[in-house]
Chain A
Amino acid sequence: MDPEGIDMSAQPILAAKGLTKRYGKVVALDRCDFELYPGEILAVIGDNGAGKSTLIKCLSGAVTPDEGEMTLDGQTVAFASPTEAREHGIETVYQTLAVSPALSIVDNIFMGREKRRPGWRGSVLRQLDKPAMRAFAREKLSELGLMTIQNIDQPVETLSGGQRQGVAVARAAAFGSKVIILDEPTAALGVKESRRVLDLIQDVRARGIPIILISHNMPHVFEVADRIHVHRLGRRLSVIDPKAHSMSDAVALMTGAKEIEEA
């Protein structure tokens, strides 16, 4: 999909207005606005302490904002927990990945939303429908071109860092019907593996799911993002087009070395 083809006049899929979050006297979010449009990769950048992780936590349900309003598909929403956000179709891939290393790929993909067998085996014996779960997991990994992982039952800890990231992204893509949030997906990876993950991100977007990408890595951001949300001092400073700006512009904006020239 062509980035230029994003329909900015359409309704944002996820939007926030005037989000405020205070921790005691510290104002982490100060009347922050946010929009994510269908089919785009939106990068969120900002210096450490700029409040971007608080913003992400509000969007993913990990933190409840003190003030402000969020809308999903035009409907006002409020999330009390990550589980609620997930139920609304917002999936988050945390920097720590939130995978259980000793458990298998299938177990991890279905963690917290296991499928039970139909009939009495599911209702009385609470038996998991492992064949169905395996088939589903295999399908999702294949869709993202991750089937170089041969054994769907192998423990996640036997996978490389990139493959683990792949599993976490596949989990998000499998269930994230509306939005996927990726927190520093390439931070812990080598060059080759980062490459793979960036491909993966574009694969996911190609399937029509918009992505929020939080990253410190400017080359990665500029490679995949359609728009860049620059966060500074608890609020959105501006949204820039990576085609029209250089990386040093972005860094300058982020650190306050440069003021905005376009509203």
Chain B
Amino acid sequence: MSSDPTDHEASVRARRTEAVAAFEGRRGAIDRLQHALHVTPALVPLIVLTVAILGFTWFLGTRFLEQLPLIMQQVQIVGVLAAAQSLIILTAGIDLSVGAIAVFSSVMIGQLSFRYGVPPTVSIALGLAIGGAIGAVSGWLVSRVKLPPFIATLGMWQIVLATNYLFSRNETIRSREIREEAPMFQWLGVKPNEQLVNWIEASRGIEWERRRPNETDSAVLDFLWATNITYGVLLMVALVAVLAYALRATAWGRHVYAVGDDPEAAELAGVNVRRTLMSVYILAGVICALAGWIMIGRFGSVSPSASTGVLGNIQSITAVVIGGISLFGGRGSIWGVFFGALIVGVFELGLRMAGADAQWTYLLIGMLIIGAVAVDQWIRKVST
């Protein structure tokens, strides 16, 4: 065959003038938009997010913009759970147990050290492993026993939540105790920017008595201090970036999409569907446990009755749907989910700051969900 591809293509095209239904342009503006959304599914949530931020800034002034780091902190748990949920939904599954796994893992991490005296680093490692093990059970039920994911994880949700209450005996480990005995548990709530400012100030021989210097003598340091980012937020962004890479640029990621798109086709094409499903459920379990660790950082304490245990699944599914991942599997991008989680956070805080009744938030989020699914359906029409 020809070594020069362009030359060859030209000759081929000339030979095959009667080509069937080539992708010739019937491209109006709408078609082009539909195509763009089809190729870049994170575009819709990104646009909605940008418009929402601009809208609230216009209405509330720059004091809203200053709260963006806070929104990142408020969505970090849901954001991480939604990342796990995305993986599952990409395989055309659904995981109702994400929040329960997160709460149970945080309880395990805490109680292993406080009740059984396990060193904190080991407790964290074991907590993550337990998350993975719970994921493995769901994965086994889905890939081997062939239970529908909804049923398998509905059961696991109840089982994990009940185990959580039984094991913890409904006891809370208080923030003060954790700070004194196992500060590592709260590490994800620490702010690197504050550490950096304190370090710079200290190296210049300045010691602040309070944790918040009113004014340093440098605008740069003041700005750094105000960025208000925690390790948990950084972890969330890093996690999304790593998953986005893995899904796009590795064979595993392509297999996840293929399994969600059409498991039989994937199997026939040589993908090990079972192993892919197992890996996805285990990974999702570990990510949920990571969210459990973030919970300790954010709330300071370890409490088995955190709302995330009951609401985490719905909140994460909401972010995933608004983020443009199809519930039918195989379509969507994890960046979209990240934007989806932020959209919810922006609406919640923005509407509160504007003094609106909290119910307006839910009303708007409901509309966003329906809108997102409608857009998804419209995009899928490309194929027909």
B298 within 8 A of A: no
Cross-chain contact A142 with B12 (CB below 8 angstroms): yes
Report the minimum CB–CB distance from B43 to chain A (whole Å). Answer: 15
Cross-chain contact B270 with A102 (CB below 8 angstroms): no
B268 within 8 A of A: yes
B235-260 vs A, Cβ < 8 Å mask (1 yes, 0 no): 00000000001100111101101100
The 22 sampled A-B contact pairs (Cβ below 8 Å) are A94-B268, A98-B264, A100-B258, A103-B254, A103-B257, A107-B258, A108-B269, A111-B255, A111-B271, A114-B251, A114-B254, A125-B245, A127-B250, A128-B250, A139-B5, A142-B9, A149-B22, A149-B23, A151-B23, A155-B382, A158-B383, A163-B20
Interface residues of B (CB under 8 A from A): 1, 5, 8-9, 12-13, 15-16, 19-23, 38-39, 245-246, 249-252, 254-255, 257-258, 261-262, 264-266, 268-271, 330-331, 382-383
A215 within 8 A of B: no
Cross-chain contact B22 with A113 (CB below 8 angstroms): no
Contact of A101 among B1, B5, B271, B383 (CB under 8 A): B383
Interface residues of A (CB under 8 A from B): 82-83, 86, 92, 94, 96-103, 107-108, 110-114, 116, 125-128, 130, 135, 138-139, 142-143, 145, 147-151, 154-155, 157-160, 162-163, 171, 192-193, 196
Chain B residue contacts of A149, Cβ below 8 A: 22-23
Chain A residue contacts of B249, Cβ below 8 A: 125, 127-128, 130
Q: With A and B bound together, what is the CA distance between A191 and B249 in angstroms?
A: 39
Known: A107-B254, A142-B9. A102 touches B23 (CB 8 A): no
Cross-chain contact A99 with B383 (CB below 8 angstroms): no
Contact of A128 among B12, B39, B254, B265 (CB under 8 A): B254
Known: A142-B5, A158-B382. A98 touches B265 (CB 8 A): yes
Q: Which residue of B lies closest to A127 (CB)?
A: B249
Q: With A and B bound together, what is the CA distance between A145 and B19 in angstroms?
A: 9
Q: With A and B bound together, what is the CA distance between A143 and B13 in angstroms?
A: 11
Cross-chain contact A147 with B250 (CB below 8 angstroms): no
Report the minimum CB–CB distance from A99 to chain B (whole Å). Answer: 6
What are the nearest 6 A-B pairs in CB distance?
Answer: A112-B270, A157-B383, A160-B21, A98-B268, A114-B251, A148-B19
Known: A111-B258, A139-B5. A145 touches B12 (CB 8 A): yes
